[in-house]
Amino acid sequence: MPEFHDLPARSGLPPSPTAPGQAVRAGPQKRRISVLFLGLLGVNLLAWCWAVLAFHASPALLGSALIAWGFGLRHAVDADHIAAIDNVTRRLMQDGQRPITVGLFFSLGHSTVVVVAGLAVVLAQGWFRNRFGVLAGWGAPAGAAVSAAFLLLIGGSNLGVLLSLLRMRRRRRRGDPDLSMALPTAQGGLSRLFAPLFRRVGTSRGMFWLGLLFGLGFDTATEIGVLALAAAGATHGQAGWAVMAFPALFTAGMTLVDTANGVMMLGAYGWALAEPTRKLGYNMAITSVSVVVALLIGLAEAIDLLSIPGVSIPAWVSLPDTHGELIGYGLVSSFALLWIGSMLASLLARQRRKLTLR
C-alpha cells in the first residue's frame, strides 16, 4: 500500500522519498490506523453482542438488527458523505496534517442524530412517533442547506488548488526551476471569505459538528428506516436498552465504512503529496474528481432545495436522492482504482531504484 510519507508544509521543500528516518516516521501512522480499525471492528462486534443478547429469542428482530447494520454500511457510501470526507481530507493534508479520523468523526456526528432520535423513540414512544413527520419536515430543508452549502464551499476551495496545479504544470512544461516547492494550498477569495467555517473543520474532530449538521435533515430512507425499526421494537414491548441496539448497529456500520473511506483517501493523497513534482498528474486527477463531485452534488442539492412548485428542474438534479448509493459506490470504486494505481506505481518505482543501485 502507498506509504504515509511526511507531508509538505505550506511552503518549503517536500520531503525526499528516501529521506533518512522516513520509514520510522511512517510506522506510528500505520500503527494508529491498525489500532483504529481493530477498535472499530471491536465496536461492531460489541454491537452485535448487544443485539444477540437483546433479541436471541426473536429471529425476526435479529433480522431487523441485520437490516439496521446494513443501513449503516450503505448510508456511509451516500454521495454527500463521500464528497465531504474526500474534500476535507484533501484540504487537511494540503495544510500539512495526516488526518486518519476524518471519516470517523463525520460519521459519529451524523449518527449522533439517529442515536438521540432513537432514544427519544424509547422515552416518548407515542409523542415522538406521531410528530416524527413534522420534525422531519423542519429538519430536511436545514440538513439539505448545510450539505449543499458546505459541498459548494469546499469544492470551490479545492478548485482553487486545482487551478494552481494547472498553472504549475504549465510552468513545468516551460522548465521553471521552482517546481521543487510544495504544492499550493487554497488561498483564493472563497477561502478567505469562509475562513471561519474552514477553521471549524481545521482538524478531524471538527468533522463531528459537520456530520451532526448533515444528519439533522432525517431526509434519507436509511435514517428513517432505523427509527422505524426502533419504534416497532418499542411498540412490541421490547425494553429500551434492547431497542437502542438498532441505532447502535447503524452507527457501528457507518463509522466502519466512513473511516475506511477517509483512510483510503489519506493513502491516495499522501502518495501524491510526497513527491509533488513527479506525481503532479496524479494529484491533478484525484483532486479533479473530488472537486467535480463536490460541486455537482452541492449544486444539485441547492437547485432541489430552491426549486419552485410547478417549475420543472433538470432530471440530473434528483440523482443524489434517487441513486445516492450507486453514485457513492462509483466514487469509492474510482478512488480505490486510483489508490491501487498509486500502489503499483510505488512498487515499480522501488524496483527501478533497486535496479539503478545495482
The whole-model pTM stands at 0.61
Please, are residues 196 and 185 in contact by the beta-carbon 8 Å criterion? no
pLDDT at position 124: 64
Query: What is the pLDDT tens value at each position of the chain, 358 positions in all?
Result: 444 443 443 333 334 333 333 433 457 878 889 999 999 999 999 999 999 998 887 776 777 788 788 778 877 877 677 778 887 887 788 777 888 899 999 999 988 888 887 787 777 655 555 555 555 555 456 556 766 776 777 777 778 778 877 887 777 777 665 544 444 544 444 444 444 555 566 788 888 988 887 777 555 545 555 666 665 655 555 677 888 888 899 999 999 989 988 888 787 776 666 655 556 666 677 677 777 777 777 777 777 666 645 545 555 555 555 555 566 666 666 666 766 766 676 667 667 766 776 6
Domain residue ranges in the chain: 32-357
